[in-house]
């Protein structure tokens, strides 16, 4: 008996729920868990927080292989592996008697991140829906935008009532008992098309790009810089706000605008994005990030506007990260390409917060913001160069 695939709305809802907890128990994990872990274990804070960087490094290293697996077998084995790795990693952290075991847990979570965060799921959606995956990718990022909104208060509640170790076990159970079945259901039915069929059955498949190496290099650079700057801002945002004269309470209150700004910008892109090429999505993302950084550098009193613009740009950049490669290279090549593009981006994202901390320590917040602003403006020029290179190859 042939099992039919679920409706697209059901698929995205199931995968979106998984994204909330995948991000909430990895990238956003230290924000709430680091303090209680340090207080109980007396492990150095930088090492506890460094678990996330280790996870991102692992995710980056395996991303090309993940893209290849999705290309051949579809997203099902990759996404199911992700839920199992998250459950194993969180359980290991909950049991960890030493830093070595704690890092072993993050190695497992890193495998879960590499097989279950945006890049892997984007590749899976491209394999499932071909050129029509743009809308599904945009919708998925709306779910991911609520990761901190859902998981930060939930984590704080569990830590207060059952402790951080039991909270890790609870999240492991969520991945194993809820998200694993959801992802199994979402990816059931239908086999991925072979390469030739994918290429011939999709009328919108672009012709092969003549100067492909230059386009891929520019695209990888743009995505890596956007992810790197974003990673530094997310981790050190409160430091930058306090350097502008805000106390901790005011900085936290203002910093909460970052998440809603991401979601609001993604909603706007979801509504209007189908009317224009994804290049304009990425250009708008890089432009908003650059304008936001400029507002920080020149000490404009409207810091809320700076956060809203930067947060909106950063949020939309994740949509461009999935939709632009799909539009430039087509669905048949998308899974492997997504895996390759994720490799440098995740490595940069892993190393950027530590590099930002060193820069802040040695050069101060003013010079750090100036550097980030310069890089953000450079990225706008690079996305323009990418457009020219891709247009020249099709002329």
DSSP state of 333: T
Going by C-beta distance under 8 Å and a sequence separation of 6 or more, which residues neighbour residue 331?
Answer: 126, 127, 129, 130, 131, 133, 198, 202, 205
Domains of the chain: 8-192 (1.20.1250.20), 212-394 (1.20.1250.20)
Distance, in Å, from the CA atom of 317 to the CA atom of 337, rounded to the nearest integer, reads: 17
For residue 49, the model assigns a pLDDT of: 82
For residue 271, the model assigns a pLDDT of: 84
For residue 198, the model assigns a pLDDT of: 45
DSSP state of 57: H
For residue 195, the model assigns a pLDDT of: 45
pTM of the model: 0.81
Which residue in this structure is represented by tokens 């239908």? 190
Phi and psi (nearest 5°) for 332?
-65, -35
Distance, in Å, from the CA atom of 289 to the CA atom of 317, rounded to the nearest integer, reads: 9
Distance, in Å, from the CA atom of 22 to the CA atom of 82, rounded to the nearest integer, reads: 9
For residue 203, the model assigns a pLDDT of: 44
Q: Are 297 and 369 in contact (CB under 8 A)?
A: yes
Q: Are 227 and 348 in contact (CB under 8 A)?
A: yes
Which residue in this structure is represented by tokens 């497992």? 108
Going by C-beta distance under 8 Å and a sequence separation of 6 or more, which residues neighbour residue 132?
Answer: none
pLDDT tens, per residue, the chain with 395 residues: 445 667 788 899 999 999 999 999 998 888 788 889 999 999 988 888 889 889 999 998 998 899 889 888 888 999 999 999 999 999 999 999 999 999 999 999 999 999 999 889 988 998 888 878 888 888 898 888 888 778 888 998 999 999 999 999 999 999 999 999 999 998 876 455 444 344 434 445 555 566 777 888 999 999 999 989 988 888 788 778 888 888 767 777 787 788 788 888 888 888 887 788 888 889 999 999 999 989 887 767 788 899 899 999 998 998 888 888 888 888 887 888 888 888 888 889 888 888 888 888 888 888 999 999 999 999 999 998 988 887 755 55
Q: Are 261 and 311 in contact (CB under 8 A)?
A: yes
Distance, in Å, from the CA atom of 204 to the CA atom of 302, rounded to the nearest integer, reads: 44
- Residue 135: alpha-carbon gap to chain centroid: 17
């Amino acid at each position: 008996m042939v099992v039919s695939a679920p409706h697209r709305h059901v698929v995205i809802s199931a995968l979106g729920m998984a994204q909330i907890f995948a991000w909430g128990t990895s990238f956003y994990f230290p924000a709430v868990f680091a303090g209680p872990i340090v207080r109980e274990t007396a492990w150095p804070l930088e090492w506890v927080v460094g678990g996330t960087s280790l996870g991102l490094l692992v995710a980056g290293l395996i991303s090309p292989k993940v893209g290849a697996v999705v290309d051949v077998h579809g997203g099902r084995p990759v996404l199911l592996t992700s839920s199992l790795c998250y459950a194993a990693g969180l359980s290991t952290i909950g049991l960890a008697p030493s830093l070595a075991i704690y890092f072993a847990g993050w190695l497992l979570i890193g495998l879960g991140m590499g097989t279950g965060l945006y890049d892997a799921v984007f590749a899976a959606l491209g394999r499932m829906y071909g050129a029509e995956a743009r809308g599904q990718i945009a919708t998925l990022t709306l779910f991911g935008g609520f990761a901190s909104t859902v998981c930060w208060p939930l984590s704080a509640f569990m830590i207060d009532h059952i402790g951080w170790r039991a909270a890790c076990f609870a999240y492991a159970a969520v991945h194993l008992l809820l998200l694993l079945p959801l992802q199994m259901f979402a990816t059931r039915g239908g086999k991925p098309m072979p390469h030739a069929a994918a290429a011939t059955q999709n009328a919108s498949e672009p012709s092969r790009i003549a100067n492909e190496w230059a386009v891929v290099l520019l695209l990888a650079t743009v995505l890596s810089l956007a992810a790197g700057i974003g990673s530094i801002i997310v981790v050190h945002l409160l430091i930058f706000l306090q350097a502008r004269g805000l106390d901790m309470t005011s900085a936290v209150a203002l910093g909460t605008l970052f998440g809603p700004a991401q979601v609001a910008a993604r909603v706007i892109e979801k509504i209007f994005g189908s009317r224009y090429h994804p290049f304009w999505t990425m250009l708008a993302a890089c432009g908003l990030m650059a304008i936001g950084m400029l507002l920080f550098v020149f000490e404009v009193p409207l810091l809320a506007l700076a956060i809203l613009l930067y947060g909106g740009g950063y949020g939309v950049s994740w949509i461009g990260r999935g939709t632009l490669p799909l539009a430039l290279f087509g669905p048949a090549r998308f899974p492997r390409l997504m895996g390759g593009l994720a490799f440098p981006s995740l490595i940069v994202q892993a190393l950027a917060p530590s590099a930002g901390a060193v820069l802040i320590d040695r050069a101060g917040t003013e010079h750090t913001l100036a550097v980030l602003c310069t890089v953000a403006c450079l990225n706008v020029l690079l996305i323009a160069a990418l457009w020219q290179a891709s247009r020249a190859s099709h002329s």
